[in-house]
Structure 1
Amino acid sequence: MSAHTYRTDDVAVPGGDLHVGVWDPVAPQTGQVLLIHGVTASHLAWPFVVEELPGIRAIAPDLRGRGRSNDLAGPAGLAAHADDLVAVLDHLGIERIPVVGHSMGAFVAVVFAHRHPSRVESLLLIDGGMPLDVPAGMDADAVVAHVLGPTAARLSMRFASIDDYLDFWRPHPAFTQAWSPELESYFAYDLVEDGSGRLRPATSYETTVEDTIDMNTGSSLPAALADLQHPTALITVPRGLQNEKPGLYAPPYLEGILAEYPSVEHTRLGDLNHYTIVMSRPGARVVGDAIRAVVAHQHPVA
């Protein structure tokens, strides 16, 4: 039997409605957490982690331009996503909450904490949130290609069916050893009609470009990191989006970044990649342990 009941809600934000997944605990609620997904993901990136959180309510939006929030009008960028999260908390009657972000969601989390410090208890950043090692002088498309690689190219592809899309993902090096029914549900949710009878990934390429440029060359992240006020933990993994080493944060580069932000508590995990840290049972167990420790120190739930 599941430890949670799952529901969705729509929250009014500038430009339309933000789609939000909510997992309410079956047992008495002992805490709650806000979960922010990555750059081309959706709220269904989190079910493995939620399984590890009995008694904890988990709230996870589809960020604008993704999932069922894919048709939101207006600009994106880290600040826009951060302000959308305030609307989610207001809608659910939550004053203050621990925040967990994966990949781009970790960058959003840092900016959210800076723009709205009274709404955040603490930050848990999962393979993201610290500046990436991006060469200077790249144009927008080059930055996206450098950071996301084939992940960005996928957004322009079209598929005849959900099965075709699953077949596209099955040989992906990040998932060959971690395929699961939960992944199939996550990938199926990613598809929307393209208007011609075919299916496309829900994530907007234009929004992805805007967000990726902002998190790598914009001013919001440096300002937020320079004013980091909340207890902050960072988890990194040794493999990247294609299961390659050294992943998003090569150890020598990360050592230098962490020296700039000594208040950040860092954990480097073993043989997991950028996806399986949240979308596999071994990764979710580690993340779940970290979230439970964070939630145990939050203010009591009203």
Structure 2
Amino acid sequence: MTASVRGVVQSLTVPVDGGELAVTRWPGDGPPVIALHGITANSLAFTAVAEALPDADFHAPDLRGRAASAALPGPYGLTAHVRDVLALLDHLGRRQAVLLGHSMGAFVAALAAARHPERFPRVVLVDGGLGFPAPPGTDIDTLLQAVIGPAMDRLSMTFEDREAYLEFFRAHPALGPHWSPQLAAYVDRDLTGRSPELRSSCVLDAVRADGAGVLGDPEVLAAVHQPQVHGTLLWAERGLLDEPQGLYDPARVAAAALDPDRMPTRCIGDTNHYSILYPPAAGEVADAVRASTPASGGW
């Protein structure tokens, strides 16, 4: 357990198919929130959002194939993540939870809500969840490299020591300007191996399977459009390398024709794909989660 602004952060394990899912918990007396990270991320991506929600009982798993859940075996893919999230909710003894998803995690959240609306009545999708199918025959590795660039590069890299790994992230154009102790802790959680061959904990086969789902699975791509899926889509103004073109823009969002009553959308200005989870934008994400929780304070 470690300390944070809101108090003690707990580390939990949850029995799932093939082993145990590692979960970071920020305890609170309010309704449960389950947060699902991006394709090469880990649970500590949500530290700033969790700390902006001091009343929520906030749980963020390291998804299968990442960080402290890296040892969980395949089969990988978004369906496996949905099963793991259901196992977490059952383990907590709760009937329902708000699902918060970032990037690939937003696609998992939308899919879980489409399949199990009675368990996940509200979702908050952050710079993800709304997909655009890849052209038929597209090589997944090539497309993943084009979309997430340095995040894919590091999966095949080794680093002499922890400082070299931190420097890799500090040089990232979307992360470096926002460097903080929270970001350093997030980076540390991903690091595995021994010097001088430290590396990312992400399992490449898991990343490929999840990428294939996000880029080409018809059910995944259709999930956010299903009438039983209710929530909010927040999107970053800029992209994964802090470039002016983000994953979404007004034209793309408008073309998706999401029902504004069921899934309103909003751009969070002056953010990129990663900084949308860090101050000050983390407060806006927290506000969207807060607006999605029951007024009674629990389920």
TM (norm. structure 2) is 0.93
Q: Percent identity?
A: 39
CA contact (8 A) 2:37 2:102 kept: yes
The 2-side partners of 1:166 and 1:228 are apart by: 43
Taking only aligned residues, the RMSD between alpha carbons, in angstroms, comes to: 1.8
Cα 1:230/1:114, change in 2 over 3 Å: closer
After superposition, what is the alpha-carbon deviation per residue over 1:206-255, rounded to whole angstroms, capped at 9, x for unaligned?
Answer: 21111111111013313423433132210001111100121111332222
The 2-side partners of 1:232 and 1:136 are apart by: 30
Runs of 4+ in 1 over 2 A off after TM superposition: 1-5, 132-137, 222-228, 260-263, 299-302
Q: Secondary structure at the match of 2:280?
A: helix
Paired residue for 2:288? 290
Q: Which moved more, 1:82-91 or 1:3-12?
A: 3-12
The 2-side partners of 1:117 and 1:49 are apart by: 24
Q: Which moved more, 1:34-43 or 1:213-222?
A: 213-222
The 1-side partners of 2:31 and 2:95 are apart by: 13
Q: 1:18 aligns with which of 10, 16, 21?
A: 21
Paired residue for 1:281? 279
Counterpart of 1:229 in structure 2: which amino acid? Q
The question of 1:118 aligning with 2:118 is answered: yes
Paired residue for 1:2? 5
Paired residue for 2:50? 50
Counterpart of 1:126 in structure 2: which amino acid? V
Paired residue for 1:241? 240
Following TM superposition, by how much is the alpha carbon of 1:186 offset from its aligned partner in structure 2, in angstroms? 0.7
Following TM superposition, by how much is the alpha carbon of 1:91 offset from its aligned partner in structure 2, in angstroms? 0.9
1:83-232 paired onto structure 2 within 5 Å: 83-132=83-132, 134-193=134-193, 198-232=197-231
After superposition, what is the alpha-carbon deviation per residue over 1:159-211, rounded to whole angstroms, capped at 9, x for unaligned?
Answer: 111111011111211023211011111101110116x8521101111211111
**Structure 2: tracts of 5 or more residues without a match:** none
Q: Which moved more, 1:155-164 or 1:139-148?
A: 139-148
Counterpart of 1:68 in structure 2: which amino acid? A
CA contact (8 A) 1:133 1:253 kept: no
Q: Secondary structure at the match of 1:19?
A: strand
**Structure 1: tracts of 5 or more residues without a match:** none
The 2-side partners of 1:176 and 1:3 are apart by: 25
Following TM superposition, by how much is the alpha carbon of 1:134 offset from its aligned partner in structure 2, in angstroms? 4.0
The question of 1:35 aligning with 2:35 is answered: yes
Cα 1:94/1:243, change in 2 over 3 Å: same
Counterpart of 1:63 in structure 2: which amino acid? L
CA contact (8 A) 2:14 2:91 kept: yes
CA contact (8 A) 2:37 2:104 kept: yes
Counterpart of 2:240 in structure 1: which amino acid? L
1:57-96 paired onto structure 2 within 5 Å: 57-96=57-96
CA contact (8 A) 2:133 2:221 kept: no
The 2-side partners of 1:277 and 1:264 are apart by: 19
Counterpart of 1:301 in structure 2: which amino acid? G
The 2-side partners of 1:104 and 1:261 are apart by: 21
The 2-side partners of 1:225 and 1:282 are apart by: 27
